[in-house]
Structure formats: C-alpha cells, structure tokens
Amino acid sequence: MDRQSEKGPRRFPADRVAEQTEVVLKAWGLAPDLAAVTTAAMIDTDLAGIDSHGISMLPTYEPGHGPTTIDFSARPAVTARTGVTARVDGGGGLGHPCAVLAMRTAIEIARESAVGVVAAHNSNHFGAVGHYAAMAAEAGLIGIVTTTARSISVLPARGAVPRLGTNPLAFAAPTGNGRPFLLDMSTSTVAVNKVKVYDLNDRPVPPGWVLDGSGEPVTDAGEAMAYLRQRPEGGITALGGTAEMSAHKGYGLAVMVQILAGALTGATFPPLREPGAPDDIGHLFLVIDPAAVRGGDGFTADVDVIVDTLHATPPADPELPVLVAGEPEDRTREERGRLGIPIPERLLDQLRDLCERAGAPFLLG
C-alpha cells in the first residue's frame, strides 16, 4: 500500500512501480523481453535513489510528447565482432536494451580474451550508467561505461552557451563482500534530470548548479529548467562549478567522454545534429578480467584492503562515517525496499495522463 507523509511524496512498493513502468512500455510497442530489461534498469535506479533516471523518465520517452525520437519497435543487434571488440547498433530504439546487450557482449569477450570493448551507436537515453558497469562487477570483472547525451545542456569552462551533454561515466569493481565498488557520476556538476526532480518537488536548486548567460547562478528550479530546455544561453556547469573550484577538470572529463562514447563509436556530436534527426547517442563499454591481467585471485582482496582502510579513516563528523562509492545507494535500496519508492504528486499527475494517452492502466492511484 502506498504511504503518504504530511509533506513529501507518496511511496509505492517497487514491484508496483515496476509493473506500472512495464505496462506503459509495452503499450508503446516495446517487445516484452525488452520491456522487462528496461524496467529492471529503471527500477534499479529508483531503488538506489537516482530518481532522475527511473519512472520519472517516462514522460520524456513518451512517443509524440517527449523530446526524443525513439523507435519502440527497434531491437538492438551486434553488427560486428573482431578479436576483443564488438559493435552494437541500437536501431534508434530505447537505450536500456542496447546497453544490456552491449555489456553482456563485453563480458563474454572479456571472459574469453581478458578484455572486451564494445561500442554502441544509434541508441537513446539508457538511464543510470552505473547499472551497466555493475553488471561487470557482478560477474567478477571490472566495468567501465561512458555515454554521450541527447540534450546540449553543459557549459564549457568560460562558456555562455552550452555545447556538451552531462556525459556520465561509471566504474565498477568486484569486492570480497559481494557489494561492488561502484562510481557513477556525470561530468557536470549535476544531471539535467536531477534539476527536473527539484522542479517536480518545488525545491530551489543549489547555487552553482545552473548559470544564466552572464554566468550568474540560477536557483529557482522552474527558471533553471527554462534555461536547460528553452533558452539558448546558460546551462549546467561542468564538474567543479566555477573556475576557482576547477571547473576546467570537469570540462576536460566531459570532452574525454564525448571522444570515447561519441567519436569512437561514430555517434553524433549533439551540437551538429540536424533538426529532426535521430538522437544517435553513443555508449562505450570496457570490461577487464582482473585475474587475467594480474594472475591469481588476489584482486578482490586488495580492493577490500583499500575499502577497509578508507572506512577506518577518522571522520570529521562522528555522525558521518567515511563511505566509498556505491554505499549511499546500497543504503537507499534497503530503505526503499522496506518503505517504497517515493513519487511526487506532480509526477503522478503526469503519469496518469500519460497512461490515458497510451491506453495503459494507471496503477499508482
């Protein structure tokens, strides 16, 4: 049963949110097996607390209403495989099935040849990049994933007009306790969809996330979304936020990701995309078998030593112990598994209308 606090969003069990997501995707024409794969990726991110990339993405994906040009009838395919590399064509479809196929292929190659490199193109948004890197770690391998983005939202250092996407990257490594080290980050200060979540919840965004065309901070969430969706000037800052806080480093990482996931895969550079053309997002998947590289099985033990040493660091605040990447999301998964996934009322209204247009049942009433 859903829960409603006096102020906050309503909560729903993960299985009901998953069912709602899947029936909508099927109503849009996504094949049942691809809908299941996509739903699993989206609900995993909602459980992890990455609300920007879960069920809240359905209004963006909606045919004829969202900004993307997704072909829900498409099925991704491996189009080339040579040595330790492979190429996947997403067919212009939703990115989640494309990414799962690409990562599974990279894992298979790495098990055979120590390293697997898979380039995917002609894809679309695929949710949280860490979901796919974690697949490698769950197989006992190291996973590195990068992707380009559809929206042009990030300002180059010193720039007044955006030229890049949020261009996220993820790194995952297995550990001895079964919970991988999982770094999942955008190369911008914040993701566009996180600003969207602040707008859905009527919360001001922190100064430094979004700048106007004169380089001044924008804190009103609705105004920030206007700069990201409607206005040619202004945008999200590169990781670091300001020149004094080393925004040039985030800018450099964003360009690195664009080269790996865009130029190397043959995907489109967003500022050069023709109006009405497919999004043609690119993803790169690199998987490494640590046992093949160093020999033996000591890798996870050494990773555990690194993590344990960091955990043992005296905290500045005794109430806030030192964590490593992936642990906050693990804690959120446990909490949301018990209490449910929170969904704000504005998003529920959007989903209700979306279901009516799709001819799908609304299950979150």
Examine residue 217 and state whether it is found in any structural domain, yes or no.
no
Q: Is residue 195 part of a domain?
A: no
Read off the pLDDT of each residue in 341-350 and give the average, rounded to a whole number: 95
- Do the domain assignments include residue 320? no
pLDDT above 70: percentage of residues in the chain: 98
The predicted pLDDT at position 201 comes to: 86
Type of residue found at 325: A
Query: Is residue 231 assigned to a domain?
Result: no
pLDDT of residue 43: 98
Q: Residues of the chain with pLDDT > 90: what percent?
A: 86
Residues 22 and 164 in one domain: no
- Residue 52 belongs to domain spanning: 1-67+326-365
> pLDDT digits over 251-272, tens only?
999 999 999 999 999 999 999 9
pLDDT grade for 2, boundaries at 50, 70 and 90: low
Q: In sequence order, what E strands does the chain have?
A: 3-4, 10-12, 77-82, 85-89, 115-123, 142-147, 169-173, 181-185, 210-211, 235-236, 281-288, 341-343
Average pLDDT, the chain: 94
Q: Are residues 176 and 56 in the same domain?
A: no
CA distance 281 to 265: 9
Domain-located, residue 179: yes
Burial of 245 (0-12, 13-18, 19+ CB in 10 A): middle
- Is pLDDT above 80 for 71? yes
Mean pLDDT, residues 75-103: 98
Number of domains the chain is built from: 2
Q: Are 116 and 286 in contact (CB under 8 A)?
A: yes
- The domain that holds 180 is classified in CATH as 3.30.1370.60
Answer positive or negative: Cα dihedral of 55, 57, 58, 61: negative
Q: Decide if 151 is inside a domain.
A: yes
Please check whether residue 218 lies inside any domain of the structure: no
At 193 the pLDDT is: 78
Asked whether residue 223 carries a pLDDT value surpassing 50, the answer given is yes
b/e sequence 307-341, b meaning 16+ C-beta within 10 Å: beeeeeeeeeeeeeeeebbbbebbeebeebeeebb
Closest Cα to residue 13, out of 304, 341, 364? 341
Asked if 20 contacts 35 with a C-beta cutoff of 8 angstroms, the reply is no
Asked, for residue 256, whether it belongs to a domain, the answer is: yes
What pLDDT digit, counting tens, does each position of 136-184 carry? 999 999 999 999 998 899 999 999 999 999 999 999 999 998 899 999 9
- β 281-288/142-147 pair status: antiparallel
What is the CATH classification number for the domain harbouring 39?
Answer: 1.10.1530.10
- Tell me the two tokens of residue 339: 């209490």
The mean pLDDT value for 336-355 works out to 96
Same domain, 20 and 128: no
pLDDT tens readout for residues 114-127: 999 999 999 999 99
> What local confidence, expressed as pLDDT, does residue 3 receive?
53
